């Protein structure tokens, strides 16, 4: 029984360690893929989000994103992207959220024109690699940030979790406190899981000993000779 418990603990520790390394490790893209995504965003962001010559975003969107529309409607500004008065011509400061085969989910913080009611917007981009080209599959605002000098707090979009915006810092990166919380939870699992397993086995052993003692007492009474009348 002890060997079984020890083997179980070892397996749990290995799995938790693997999960921790997977959660902490940052997903990566090749330099070529990053450069290709940069080129796409440099055209797509001002065209689709900024609505400056929005027809230029049409060839940079996937078929799924263009479904139900045409180039003419995109040229008129009717496209499935929330408009904001973005500034800048280079949009390379994005961070990677998830990478899979021919897919990358990234987060980009875009800054808005001076005088706008907002200072910046964090946008989640789903990128797809189609026929060797990185295209935009969706662009969804994740959180809005007040202008510099304003006392207003970060505001998340209504269809996001109430605390979603707090995970982002003003640089668009995941806040340091969230990076610390995940390893803390995993460390707690490593420490508490063996204790819980050993405690359960000890309770089982005690229960088994009590049952055996009770059975021995019953057996003794059954074997006593009958008293004479």
pLDDT digits (tens, 9 = 90+) for 51-85: 999 999 999 999 999 999 999 999 999 999 999 99
Question: Which one is predicted more confidently, 111 or 217?
Answer: 111
Q: For the chain, what is the mean pLDDT?
A: 77
pLDDT computed for residue 161 by the predictor: 40
Secondary element (H or E) of residue 34: helix 31-44
> Three-class SS of residue 173?
coil
CATH number at 30-173? 3.10.450
Q: Taking 90 as the threshold, does the pLDDT of residue 193 lie above it? A: no
Domain regions of the chain by residue span: 30-173
Q: Where are the beta strands (DSSP E) in the chain?
A: 95-100, 103-111, 120-130, 133-145, 155-156
d(CA 66, CA 135): 11
Average pLDDT over residues 159-187: 46
pTM of the entire structure?
A: 0.58
Contacts of 68 (CB under 8 A, 6+ apart): none
Query: Structure tokens of 24?
Result: 């902490």
- The DSSP bridge partners found for residue 105 are 98, 126
Q: What is the pLDDT of residues 200-226, one digit of tens each?
A: 666 666 777 777 777 766 665 566 565
């Amino acid at each position: 029984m002890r060997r079984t418990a020890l083997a179980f603990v070892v397996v749990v520790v290995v799995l938790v360690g693997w999960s921790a390394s997977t959660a902490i490790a940052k997903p990566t893209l090749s330099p070529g893929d990053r450069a290709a995504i940069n080129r796409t965003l440099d055209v797509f962001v001002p065209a689709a989000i900024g609505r400056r010559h929005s027809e230029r975003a049409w060839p940079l969107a996937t078929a799924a994103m263009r479904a139900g529309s045409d180039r003419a409607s995109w040229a008129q500004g009717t496209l499935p992207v929330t408009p904001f008065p973005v500034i800048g011509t280079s949009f390379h400061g994005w961070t990677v959220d998830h990478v899979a085969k021919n897919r990358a989910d990234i987060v980009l913080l875009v800054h808005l024109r001076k005088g706008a009611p907002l200072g910046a917007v964090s946008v989640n981009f789903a990128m797809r690699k189609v026929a060797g080209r990185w295209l935009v599959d969706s662009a969804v605002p994740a959180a809005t940030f007040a202008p510099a000098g304003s006392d207003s707090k970060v505001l998340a979009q209504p269809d996001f979790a109430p605390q979603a915006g707090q995970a982002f810092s003003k640089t668009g990166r995941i806040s340091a406190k969230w990076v610390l919380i995940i390893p803390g939870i995993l460390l707690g699992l490593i420490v508490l899981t063996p204790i819980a397993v050993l405690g359960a086995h000890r309770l089982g052993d005690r229960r088994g000993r009590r049952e055996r003692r009770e059975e021995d007492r019953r057996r003794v009474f059954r074997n006593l000779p009958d008293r004479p009348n």
